[in-house]
Amino acid sequence: MIENIGSEVKEIRKSNNMTLKDLSEKTGLSIGFLSQFERGLTTIAIDSLQVISDALKVDLSRFLLKPKSDEKMILKSYENEVYEVMNNKFINYHLSNSLDKANIYPRRIDILPMSVEEDINEYSHKGEEFVYVIEGILTLMLDSKEYHLYPGDSAHYDSERMHNWANYTNKVVKVLVVSTPNYFKDNKGINEDE
């Protein structure tokens, strides 16, 4: 998969008439690293890929989204694929291959760093949410109050309360989220009106 992402970065870079040096100057990443990445010889952190996508003026999801096809009960960690990237900050990974049959919606969300100045609006919806912090420091906003959750901390709340999450640190925050209702059950999809 890294090879595919690297070659796609190279293709976009060349279509924009950018050299490796140009991309290096815009991202702060070394020419050698970028060259190895484009050839699939090294891995890349999500935040570095975000910097590259910003420099190339493309959405991060272009490099990460792949459709799921194999339906089974077990999902190995190496099979984890990005389902959705929201606002270039929230990277969603489904943790089930059977969402069309499940009552709960399990997922891992990687939250990229954001600045305190960014406008984070609280919202509400039907159901309930359970959030468990795997890595980093999550800022949970719940009814206009901020809570800081550290690795191993969790929160369980009614989703009809006003809420949202933020990452005001300089490292990626990883959380496990299990929520209801599962909008994917019976292939209904997410209904924005709910």
pLDDT band at 192 (very low <50, low <70, confident <90, very high): very low
Residues 42 and 83 placed together within one structural domain of the fold: no
Checking if the pLDDT of 191 tops 50, the result is no
Q: How confident is the model at residue 81 (pLDDT cuts 50, 70, 90)?
A: confident
pLDDT digits (tens, 9 = 90+) for 117-150: 777 888 898 999 999 999 999 999 999 999 999 9
d(CA 189, CA 128): 18
Domain at 15, CATH number: 1.10.260.40
Q: Is the same domain home to 89 and 179?
A: yes
CA 45, 46, 51, 57 dihedral sign is positive
Mean pLDDT score of the chain, rounded to an integer? Answer: 85
Residue 158 and residue 83 in one domain: yes
Q: Which residue has the higher pLDDT, 134 or 184?
A: 134
Domain boundary pick from 48, 63, 78: 63
Which comes out higher in pLDDT, residue 183 or 58? 58
Residues 33 and 124 in one domain: no
Tell me the per-residue pLDDT of 22-75, one tens digit each, with 9 for 90 and over: 999 999 999 999 999 888 888 888 888 889 999 998 888 777 755 444 456 777
Question: What pLDDT does 186 receive?
Answer: 58
pLDDT tens readout for residues 148-167:
999 999 999 999 999 999 99
Q: What is the CATH number of the domain that holds 131?
A: 2.60.120.10
DSSP 50-107: HHHHHHHT--THHHHB-------S---GGG--EEEEETTTEEEEE--S-TTT-SSEEE
